[in-house]
Amino acid sequence: MRALFFVEPAVQRNEPAHLASTLNWAEMLRSSARRVGGDLGVVSNLEICAAWTERPTPEGPRQAFAVDAYAPLRPFGYRLNDYMRSHYGPGSRDNPLYAALSEIRERFAPDIVLMTYQNSIAEAAFEGLPFINLSQAPLLRWGHPDRICFDPTGHQVNSIIGARGEDIRRAHLSDADFAGLAEIVAGIRRHQLKEERMVAAQAELKAIGGGAPIALMAVQPASAVPCRDGLDASDVQSLLCSWADQLPPGWIGVPTFHFALRFGRDLEEALARGCPRLRLLSPDHSWIATEGLIAAADGMVTVNSNSAMAALLFEKPVAMLGQGPLSDWCGEHVADLVRGPRYSGRDILALLAFLTNRYSELVDTVTADPSVFLGIMQAMTSGVGEAHFLDLSSWSLARAKSMFYGLN
């Protein structure tokens, strides 16, 4: 079993090796493939490939295939955002990356391709091969174990979560299953309240709302993700002002910041002056994970943050304005917040069952048990594909609980 691990080669956040952190997943999955006489090779830019081959290994030399970081940008006038936006449309066969990946496909002859980034050019170059899209599982992260998810149909676009949403909502779960899932959600909320800093942040959020409905505005680092309303996700300041203007009457917006994005306090205060419906948390609390604040808010606006899953579990309306796995489970416009959640609490619990089944795994489990990843590869290469992930026959409440800390 030969797996090719594709890491976006274009330079992200001005650091060629920025995405090298995903090599920890590659290491974990390579060990599984090697157990059955297979291997895993990495394709990315030179710096990430060097980071891969320089890792110490007891299992023989590592295979890496370097592609140029800037040649794929040439057809876009070297504009990174334009190149990244193209990943959400049909893959171009005229791009130099397509030719490079096609050659690597011939040389390495992979049985399966693993991707950590939306890239339609790579999808075109590897057309006909089974894909698995890897990312952090869209489950609450604050104070919980590391998890990885395996999506057989897409990443930000065409994720199985959206593409097979109706099947997920029709899952054959008993009333006892739904009751147990609801107790997991209640346990998550109790777990949050054990964190003093989170409790203080929730109290501040309620105070600055002054009784008005509060929409958390979960902002992320500048992104090329296409937005439904035509806004530019790479211009975070404009996003916040526009979202504030679109809030339902009487609502206020409170930004929460990704750890990799933070404005200076002067800029935050200038934004609040220019957008009267924005309110600011204190610097210590605006960096609290969005999922830790959503219980004290009335809704959420985001481009495509996975923290939307916390809002859905807590039965809060979400406006997701960019493309992402949870887009089809959320409202499409900021004004939709006033309508309440798009789906029932029971539907969201069915989604939780799906996410805690074969779609998500604890990183520790995949590391310790090679059969987990080998089972996924077998399902994908044998044609079982999506059905493997939709099959809840081996799911249990105990498995779902194992994905979280502090539920006792």
Q: The domain that contains 201 carries what CATH number?
A: 3.40.50.11350
Q: Say whether both 158 and 289 belong to one domain.
A: no
In a domain, 112, yes or no: yes
Single residue among 298, 315, 343 that ends a domain in this structure: 343
In a domain, 250, yes or no: yes
Tell whether the torsion through CA atoms of 327, 331, 337 and 340 is positive or negative.
Answer: negative
Q: Say whether both 41 and 146 belong to one domain.
A: yes
Contact 126, 292 (CB under 8 A): no
Regarding beta strands 360-362 and 214-219, do their DSSP bridges make them parallel or antiparallel, or are they unpaired? unpaired
CATH number where 108 lies:
3.40.50
Give pLDDT, residue 221: 67
In whole angstroms, what is the distance from residue 219 CA to residue 255 CA? 7
Give pLDDT, residue 233: 67
3-class secondary-structure state, position 163 = helix
In whole angstroms, what is the distance from residue 80 CA to residue 72 CA? 9
In a domain, 351, yes or no: no
In a domain, 150, yes or no: yes
Closest CA to 338 of 246, 276, 211: 246
Token pair in block for residue 220: 């992320």
Q: Say whether both 273 and 393 belong to one domain.
A: no
Number of domains forming the structure of the chain: 2
Q: Say whether both 213 and 274 belong to one domain.
A: yes
What residue type is assigned to position 145 of the chain? P
In whole angstroms, what is the distance from residue 194 CA to residue 305 CA? 24
- In angstroms, the Cα distances linking 215 to 88, 240, 278 are 28, 11, 10
In a domain, 75, yes or no: yes
Dmax of the chain from CA atoms? 63
Contact 248, 338 (CB under 8 A): yes
Q: Say whether both 7 and 94 belong to one domain.
A: yes
Q: Say whether both 26 and 59 belong to one domain.
A: yes
Give pLDDT, residue 224: 62
Cα 276 → chain centroid: 31
In a domain, 389, yes or no: yes
Contact 299, 316 (CB under 8 A): yes
Which regions of the chain are under pLDDT 70?
A: 221-224, 226, 229-230, 233, 259-262, 408
What phi, psi does 44 have (nearest 5°)?
-170, -160
Give pLDDT, residue 222: 58
Q: Say whether both 25 and 106 belong to one domain.
A: yes
Describe the strand order of the beta sheet including 39-44 as a list of residue ranges.
63-66, 39-44, 2-6, 112-115, 131-136, 147-151, 360-362
In whole angstroms, what is the distance from residue 379 CA to residue 175 CA? 30
In whole angstroms, what is the distance from residue 95 CA to residue 261 CA? 31
pTM of the shown model: 0.93
3-class secondary-structure state, position 326 = coil
Q: Say whether both 379 and 333 belong to one domain.
A: no
Q: Say whether both 337 and 377 belong to one domain.
A: no
Q: Say whether both 65 and 118 belong to one domain.
A: yes
Q: Say whether both 203 and 287 belong to one domain.
A: yes
Contact 299, 317 (CB under 8 A): yes
What residue type is assigned to position 405 of the chain? Y
Query: Residue 266's domain spans which residues?
Result: 195-343
Task: Return the DSSP state at 11.
Answer: -
Contact 41, 31 (CB under 8 A): no
In whole angstroms, what is the distance from residue 389 CA to residue 277 CA? 43
In the block, which residue shows the tokens 């996924």?
376
In a domain, 188, yes or no: no
Give pLDDT, residue 286: 73
Q: Say whether both 209 and 155 belong to one domain.
A: no
In a domain, 355, yes or no: no
